[in-house]
Amino acid sequence: MDTYFTVLPHQLANQVGSGSLEVLSSPWLLGYFENAAVRFLKDHLEEDETTVGTYAQLEHLAPSLLNEEIRIHC
């Protein structure tokens, strides 16, 4: 399953306080990872079940620039 999003101005590191560059911030990237995981898992859960994040390890290897399209694959 693939999820796509476009880097928006309010998601940049210099806007959220996680850095000084105009690149996608790690907090937003992690949020998109969690969103993709929830979307993937929803079809595998019973109606009364949910999923929560308890641990995340993130290695942000390259910058994603404003208006760049990002693909997350689960």
Give the residue from 55, 73, 49, 64 showing the smallest Cα distance to 11: 64
Q: What is the pTM of this model?
A: 0.86
The DSSP secondary-structure symbol of 20 reads S
Architecture of the domain made up of 2-73: Roll (3.10)
Question: Residue 32, CB half-sphere, CA atoms under 13 Å: how many?
Answer: 19
- Asked whether 11 and 65 are in contact (CB, 8 A), the reply is no
Question: How many angstroms separate the CA atoms of 52 and 42, rounded?
Answer: 12
Chain segment 20-53, per-residue pLDDT in tens: 999 999 999 999 999 999 999 999 999 999 988 8
